[in-house]
C-alpha cells in the first residue's frame, strides 16, 4: 500500500470510529435533587414560583451578577420569561419560561440556551409537605445532547456536574428561606 493511502485510511478511521461509537452513547439525561426546608410548603412554593428569586439561590444565576437580564410577563404566572445574557462563557445567553404551575405543588420550566451551546431543557421545581413546617423541594432537569455532541459524555459526567450545581442551589435556597421571617417569606 502506498504511504498516502495508508495515511488517508488512518485519518478516516480516527474520524469514523468515534462517530460510530457515538451512535451508541445515550443522548438523554435526567437529573433530580431534593432538600428538606424547615418552612411550610406554602411559604416555600410562594418563594420558588417567582423566577426573580433565583437571583438569591441559583448557582447558575449567581455565577455572573452582572449578567444582563430581561423579563416578559408577570413573575409567578404561566408564560413569564426570564432571559439572561452574560459575557461569562459559563453563563452564556438564554431564557427560561414558566410553562405550567400546579399551585402549591410544582413549577414546570423550559430553558432555552443560545450561548455557548444551543439547546432546550425541561426543568421543574416541586414541593411536598412532609410535616407542618417541613417541606421537601425537588429540582429536576431533563435534556439531551444531540449526536455527535453526545460523544462528550465519554469524557464528562454531565449528571454529576449538573447534579452538584442543583445540590448547591438547593442548599442555598434552604438557607435563604429558613432565614426569612414567616411574615416576609416572598420577594416580589
Average pLDDT in the chain: 89
Q: What is the pLDDT of residue 185?
A: 43
Cβ–Cβ under 8 Å, residues 47 and 187: yes
Q: What letter would DSSP give residue 67?
A: -
Question: pLDDT, tens digit, for every residue of 26-52?
Answer: 778 889 999 999 999 999 999 999 999
Q: What is the pLDDT of residue 56?
A: 96
Between 49 and 149, name the one with better pLDDT. Answer: 49
Q: What letter would DSSP give residue 125?
A: E
Q: Estimate the share of the chain in helix, then strand, then coil, as percent rounded to the nearest 5.
A: 35, 35, 30
Between 30 and 124, name the one with better pLDDT. Answer: 124
Q: What is the pLDDT of residue 13?
A: 83
| Domain regions of the chain by residue span | 27-184
Cβ–Cβ under 8 Å, residues 50 and 61: no
Encode burial over 95-127: b for 16+ CB neighbours within 10 A, e otherwise.
Answer: bbbbeebeeeebbbbebebeeeeeeebebbbbb
Question: pLDDT, tens digit, for every residue of 107-118?
Answer: 999 999 999 888
Q: How far is CA 71 from the centre of its chain?
A: 18
Band (pLDDT 50/70/90 cuts) for residue 126 is: very high
Q: Specify the pTM.
A: 0.81
Q: What letter would DSSP give residue 6?
A: H
Which class would CATH give 27-184?
alpha beta
Question: pLDDT, tens digit, for every residue of 150-178?
Answer: 677 677 777 788 889 999 999 999 999 99
Q: List beta partners, residue 98.
A: 109
Question: pLDDT, tens digit, for every residue of 59-90?
Answer: 999 999 899 999 999 999 999 999 999 998 88
How many CB atoms within 10 Å of residue 66? 9
Cell triple for residue 167?
445540590
Q: How far apart are CA 53 and CA 98, in angstroms?
A: 14
Q: What is the pLDDT of residue 184?
A: 46
Element (H, E) at 8: helix 3-22
Q: List beta partners, residue 154.
A: none
Amino acid at each position: 500500500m502506498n504511504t498516502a493511502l495508508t495515511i488517508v485510511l488512518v485519518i478516516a478511521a480516527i474520524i469514523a470510529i468515534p462517530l460510530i461509537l457515538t451512535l451508541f452513547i445515550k443522548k438523554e439525561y435526567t437529573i433530580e435533587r431534593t432538600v428538606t426546608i424547615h418552612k411550610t410548603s406554602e411559604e416555600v412554593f410562594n418563594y420558588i414560583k417567582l423566577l426573580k428569586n433565583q437571583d438569591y439561590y441559583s448557582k447558575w444565576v449567581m455565577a455572573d451578577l452582572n449578567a444582563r437580564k430581561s423579563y416578559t410577563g408577570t413573575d409567578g404566572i404561566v408564560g413569564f420569561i426570564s432571559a439572561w445574557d452574560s459575557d461569562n462563557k459559563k453563563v452564556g445567553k438564554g431564557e427560561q419560561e414558566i410553562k405550567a404551575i400546579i399551585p402549591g405543588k410544582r413549577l414546570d420550566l423550559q430553558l432555552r440556551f443560545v450561548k455557548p451551546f444551543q439547546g432546550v431543557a425541561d426543568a421543574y421545581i416541586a414541593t411536598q409537605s412532609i410535616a407542618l413546617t417541613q417541606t421537601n423541594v425537588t429540582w429536576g432537569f431533563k435534556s439531551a445532547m444531540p449526536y455527535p455532541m453526545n460523544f462528550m459524555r465519554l469524557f464528562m459526567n454531565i449528571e454529576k456536574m449538573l447534579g452538584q450545581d442543583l445540590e448547591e442551589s438547593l442548599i442555598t435556597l434552604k438557607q435563604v428561606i429558613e432565614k426569612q421571617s414567616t411574615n416576609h417569606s416572598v420577594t416580589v
